[in-house]
Amino acid sequence: MQKQALHIADGDYSTQVKIYSNDELGQLGRAFNTLSVRIERSQEESDSERRRLDSVLSHMSDGVLATDRHGNVSVVNQMALNFLNVKEEDVINKPIAEVLGLKDTSSQDLISSQKEIVVTIDPNTRDEMILHASFSLIKRVTGFVSGSVCVLHDVTEQQKNEDSQKQFVSNVSHELRTPLTSLQAYIEALNEGAWKDPNIAPKFLEVTQQETSRMIRMINDLLSLSRIDRGVSKMDLEFVNLNDFVNHILNRFDMIVKTDKNKDKKKKYTIKRELGNQALWVEIDTDKMMQVIDNIMNNAIKYSPNGGVITVRLTQNKNHVILSISDQGLGIPRKDLGKIFDRFYRVDKARSRAQGGTGLGLAIAKEIVEAHHGRIWADSSEGKGSTFYISLPYKPMTEEDDWDEV
Ligand code: ADP
């Protein structure tokens, strides 16, 4: 029985006490064997419980750190290691405040306050990551605190969305305040007597009209973006020959050149077509795609020098058709190339406003092109001109498709 007790103490439950009699010693031996079986079973249960917990912890999408009552880390799951970009040996037995990079707080205060905090991981050690950390104490039945658990939740995306939303609201307010302030100034001047001056009044009224229409354009652009953002802007797709479609849009611009020339005061420009003759069938929402091409053409005209040539090309490869629109304008600095598709981003704010721009045209174009599973980008050499590219998915028609039609 003594040997058996030592086996049990070592975690070996395989041996049993031999029972020779039914007397008190025999009964003690039997109770001993039952005890050994019970201990083995409860050991197995607690092992499987631990494995279950380990598996839950390692498959969680949140990071978990457990500490002892002094705030030193005793358990950490894989997600927490990924979030913090550290190895397990770097954090075990380390104060949790140090592990989370909180220099001004003691681990004890951190866990006892049970507060929820936001932790920003040093962007030098990994891509910026914002974590939401919540703490809770582990208490025994007696109320004695034996440690704490800290759960880390990745809120980077959420935080970025909130920040960009705040930025957007601030941009909209600013964008609307500028024309409103100028309207107010002109109306005040008119009110104070300028309306009587035949040299000033028409000019002032023209400015107020221009500013009002720019604000209306901006609100309409904002509503388009909001419809796209909310996913309520339905795509009305149809197969069109892009070649014909672009020709049709450019004919319209050619007409405008003619009428502009008649007025003789507007800028002159020429549109050069390099479209080829091949029919390129793509599935697009014609209204929306027309809006995109109109916007890029209008920009090309706006930023072209007098007498400038705007070249429109269509090329294709195995699975994409690429429409490019090049101008000979002042170009776009390299550092701004990636940003011009952001809402309200303009290289030269004052110039864009003066030309009636809303700073939203390219942002809308990007959303529309992406909704077609396409891509839009720009290239430019400063002082020489810019080229805007739109690439759309394209599947060359095969002979079989022709047969399908028949
Ligand atoms: P905007 O209403 O200001 O034209 P867009 O979204 O259409 O707004 O364009 C954003 C900015 O991109 C413009 O303000 C301008 O700085 C720049 N940009 C767009 N097209 C051209 C171009 N063809 N040449 C030079 N800069 C351009």
> In sequence order, what DSSP letters do the residues of 120-184 get, joined into one string?
EE-TTTSS-EEEEEEEEEEE-TTS-EEEEEEEEEE-HHHHHHHHHHHHHHHHHHHHHHHHHHHHH
Measured CA to CA, the distance from residue 115 to residue 246 in angstroms comes to 60
Which CATH code, of 3.30.450.20, 3.40.50.300, 1.10.275.10, 1.25.40.10, is assigned to 60-154?
Answer: 3.30.450.20
Sole residue written with tokens 């072209």: 304
What is the second-level CATH architecture of the domain 235-406? 2-Layer Sandwich (3.30)
Tens of pLDDT, residue by residue over 157-172, are 999 899 888 998 998 9
- CA-wise closest residue to 85 among 130, 125, 120: 125
For residues 326-345, give the mean pLDDT.
93
- Domain 157-233 matching CATH 1.10.287.130: the answer reads yes
Q: Considering the domain 2-57 in this protein, what is its CATH number?
A: 1.10.8
Judge if pTM exceeds 0.75.
Answer: no
DSSP lists the bridge partners of residue 306 as: none
Q: Between 47 and 1, where is the model more confident?
A: 47
Q: Can you give the pLDDT at residue 400?
A: 60
Residues 279-292 as b/e (b if ≥16 CB within 10 A, e otherwise) read ebebebbeebbbeb
Residue 199 CA to ligand 1 center (angstroms) comes to 33
Span 71-90, pLDDT tens digits = 999 999 999 999 998 999 99
Separation of CA 181 and ligand 1 centre (Å) = 24
16, pLDDT greater than 90: no
Spatial CB neighbours of 59, under 8 Å, sequence gap ≥ 6 = none
Residues with Cβ < 8 Å from 201, sequence gap 6 or more?
190, 194, 195
Which atom of ligand 1 lies at the shortest distance from residue 295's CA? Answer: 7
What are the residues whose beta carbons fall under 8 Å from the beta carbon of 171, sequence distance 6 or more? 343, 344
Q: Is 333 exposed, middle or buried (0-12, 13-18, 19+ CB in 10 A)?
A: exposed
Where residue 264 falls among pLDDT bands split at 50, 70, 90? very low
205 CA → ligand 1 middle, Å: 27
- Residue 285's pLDDT is 95
The share of the chain scoring above pLDDT 70, in percent, equals 95
Average per-residue pLDDT for the chain = 89
pLDDT in tens, 111-153: 887 778 888 887 776 677 899 999 998 888 888 888 999 999 9
Cα–Cα distance for residue pair 291/286, rounded to 1 Å: 9
User: What atom in ligand 1 is closest to the CA of residue 347?
Assistant: 16
Residue-level pLDDT at 193:
93
Ligand 1 binding residues, C-beta < 6 A = 295, 299-300, 303, 327, 329-330, 332, 340, 346-348, 352, 357-363, 386
**Where along the chain do the CATH 3.30.450.20 domains lie?**
60-154
Give the pLDDT of residue 308: 92
Q: What number does the ligand 1 atom closest to the CA of 348 have?
A: 16
Task: Please check whether residue 79 is in contact with residue 45, taking contact to mean a CB–CB distance below 8 angstroms.
Answer: no
Interval 87-105: pLDDT, tens: 999 999 999 999 998 888 8
Please, where in the chain does CATH 1.10.8 lie?
2-57
Question: Which band of pLDDT confidence, cut at 50, 70 and 90, is reported for residue 402?
Answer: low
Mutation to probe ligand 1, out of 267, 302, 340, 364 (largest number of atoms < 8 A from CB): 340
What's phi and psi for 352, nearest 5 deg? -60, -45
Residue 261 has pLDDT above 60, yes or no: no
What is the model's pLDDT at position 398?
A: 67
Instruction: Answer for the pair 228, 367: CB distance below 8 angstroms, yes or no.
Output: yes
pLDDT at 262 over 80: no
Query: Which ligand 1 atom minimizes the distance to the CA of 359?
Result: 8
134 or 11, higher pLDDT:
134
pLDDT the model gives residue 260: 59
Which one, of 129, 124, 122, 116, lies nearest residue 156 by Cα?
Answer: 129
pLDDT digits (tens, 9 = 90+) for 175-203: 899 889 999 999 999 999 999 999 999 99
User: Tens digit of pLDDT for each residue in 43-56?
Assistant: 899 999 999 988 88
Select from 68, 144, 167 the least CA-distant residue to 111.
Answer: 68
Q: One-letter amino acid identity for 378?
A: A
